[in-house]
A and B are shown apart, each in its own frame.
Chain A
Amino acid sequence: MIRAAKAMVRCLEKEGIKVVFGYPGAAICPFYDELYSSDIKHVLVRHEANAGHAASGAARITGKPAVCIATSGPGATNLLTAIATAYADSIPLICITGQVSTDQIGCDVFQEVDITGAAEPFVKYSYLIKDAKRLPEIFREAFYLAGTGRKGPVLIDVPVDVQNEMIDFSYPEEVKMRTYKPTVKGNPVQIKKICEAIEASEKPLICAGGGVFLADAKDELLKFAEKSGVPAVSTMMGLSLFPSDHPIYLGMLGMHGVKSANRAVNECDTMILIGARVGDRAVRSPSFLSQSKQIIHIDIDPAEIGKNIPVDIPLVGDCKSILAEMSEKITERDRSEWLNEVRAIKNDIAINEETEGFINPKAFLRKLSDRMPADTICVADVGQNQIWCCNNYAFKESGRFLTTGGMGTMGYSVPCAVGAKMAAPEREVVAVCGDGSFQMQMMELATIMQEKIAVKIIIMRNNKLGMVRELQTNGYGDRQIAVALDGSPDFVALAKAYGIESDRVTTMAEAEEKIEKLAASDKPYLLECNVYKLESTL
């Protein structure tokens, strides 16, 4: 017999968890007490949401569910934004929360909140453990649910008295669920049909999304695209699937995408959506698109098919095996005529005239990606900084881009970078954020310093909430309200106060030198970039 809290730790060990991100409190203390004698590394974040975002970063790099922990009540509610973020982006998380004692549930006692109820709309599944004996089985199920099918966050709420019960521990080998059986293998008849449709089409186009990463099918996608000769665009979540300079790759589509990609979407006769859900930022009027084109949609989640766009050929299944099969079946073909037609469209990104005392963020990010190692993980926050990254940071084949395209949660980049760096300490991790988003996460400088996590932080400082400012300028008669970030601190000095190396760049002339210093450092590093307040997104 062991304490259920010990069983929780054992479950995590059995799942191969090496690092967890969390914040303790009274209701989760038995678990922390058992963590004390475990080899699992605990990273103490400075806000529970960041525990979730850090776990998200780790999960996206390892491809496996990652773990975040919070206490009951406010700890758990602080975690909610991170859970919702992971849900929107289909990131596998195991979120463990402490709960008040079973006999007190429903009595509105100190730090009590119905967290399974509150999180219900944006978890893949949730558990409130009332019977300690079921704990090992529930943990096994939770990891299985989070990491299979369409991935997502699973919440496990454990009352403090349950954590203290004694149970027999054995970790189930298998998961037996009669209700949950995700379709993994694609229907061969549909695969054949899709290949024939692509072969019969003159101007096919691949649109690859974050689902391809989730299925670990990047190599299969590249192989298929290269063999079939079909040009490709990507969604924001699908960025870095293709190296930015790949001959068949046309860039990111959508509202903030590039001309070549959007023109290709417009001109194509067949669109092959792979692991992409046709979100509103990617395709504004899906029904308009489907009227003039044949739509092929490949997704692991049957509910995505036909949800946002009418589909001609649907295919449910894991795109790794599907793409491998399609690569085998498809005839090799040179489509350079169609490819050249769309490649001829140049993406003249407005390199605005340099304003004195400011860097050009677009040109700066191009320089940054030129200097950083090929396998660098670039994490973008939300706002103008995100779009600047999407369209200017040049990804190489082993590079990776992380951002929250679904929820668009400000304050994601630094904690996500922390998690990514913990999962891949040998790779460079750069977080790019704005001065608005940075101030939603700057408490994590302490975490970075405490654990000596050598992430590089770049702050695009324009003293504005730039994207909202632009929206107010263009859509609301330039009546700017609540977008000025006056009162922000000197971020260089702030970093120094934490003992983090930092610097500032104010002209493009010194950009290369400053980037070099950042890249050469093997410690945490913060670089503040002065950006003109009216710099445009595109």
Chain B
Amino acid sequence: MSESTARKRGRFGPAPLALFLALVLGCTAPEVVTDSRPLGSLEDVLAMRDRSDVNVLFVLVDTLRADRLGAYGYSRDTSPTIDYLAETGVRFGNQVAQSSWTKCSMSSLWTGLYPARTGVLRSQDAISPDARMPAEIMLDAGFRTAAIWRNAWIAPNFGFSQGFEIYHSPRAISVSADQRAASPGKISGSDADLIRSASEFLRAHADDRWFLYLHLMDVHQYVYDDDSALFGTGYSDSYDNSIHWVDSLLGRLFEELEKRDLRKRTLIVFAADHGEAFGEHGGEGHARNVYGEVTTTPFILSFPFRLEPNIVVQSRSANVDLWPTVLDLVGLSELDDPDGQSLLPAIEASARGEKLAEDDRPTFAQLDRTWARLRLEPQPVIAVNSEKWRLVYQPDRPDHSELFDKEADSAEQRNISLEQPEVVAALVREIDAHLENPSPPWGTAAHIEIDEMQMQQLRAIGYGVQ
């Protein structure tokens, strides 16, 4: 058994440091949400592009599946802070991430392109330095751009830092010895370090217009503190505990926004790169397949004003739509030739109780099952989602196709591919057409060598990269 807490308190430095850090983070999660934002309306949403004072805070919680949030119907009270964002903003109820592996998924999220077009499918692939990324667009538009992150798969050498003035991955602060990780692989510290850094960013840039991207990892690592040890000791319980912990950290960050009077001019974009499996289809974790449990993610927009009632968009949407939507909201130029599209029309339609014709477009998720084993040939698996169906298809093993009727079988447990061969055929045609899409404007993905230090960082978060 191992335990790192010293008997003598002096081991962690003088008491003033601990007290200060507790003050920075806030001693406890706020029980009453302080929200000084005015009431707003759809018109205010549409008028945001004319404002020149709105900051953008992009919160990405790694490995967060939508159905473990109260806002998405979960029975446990894992996420009061996030739920409040959704209750007073726009929630996208049918969001699909483009992969179950962070690097592939985030490449699509940032570029607005599906994995088949980004080409970032294996461990040594990187986003091209010629890609035009949202942070670059925002930097050009005068935003101060910064990122604070903790997942080695989005390291700068994979092309993710483009456009960020500072792309920072903080080391752990030694005082934080009260978090416990349930999952294997250890990275030092916790998202508390990230939130503390973000709080200082807010202090330093309160008067600027900024774009801040936070990539949180404690849900990925199943880290939580004693106060969030609420839901039991099972693996799935630990996952819920970690969501509660991260939710409490976000609560403190939003309090900081409130305290600095920034909440009224900040657009909060909340999303996840992929979900997590707990045996629904025989597997656990993520980055192994593209079933619903690993690709159904949250997407919430919280504006500088409250929307009451909130807006729920039930039409299908994808992470490739995220940045076209946000850029549209703040009135900036578009991404280059994206597959995704702005969801502003869908927001409008949902607010008015209408349905868009484009709601029928399929969404895709993709993974190369050998992404970490470069000696092996690629083995892609692709999921296509329509309103009723999800087909999980392996081009090199078409007889392993799995078709699920999402309406009749919401848990997607019954593979009816043999009963519905025409549906399968039609969806396979969709996939084939999807895979024939042209390369992005900047050409193919870059390839880089992963050095030993980065390899260790990746292994520390549980990835067996070869």
Is this pair of chains taken from one and the same complex? no
Interface residues of B (CB under 8 A from A): none
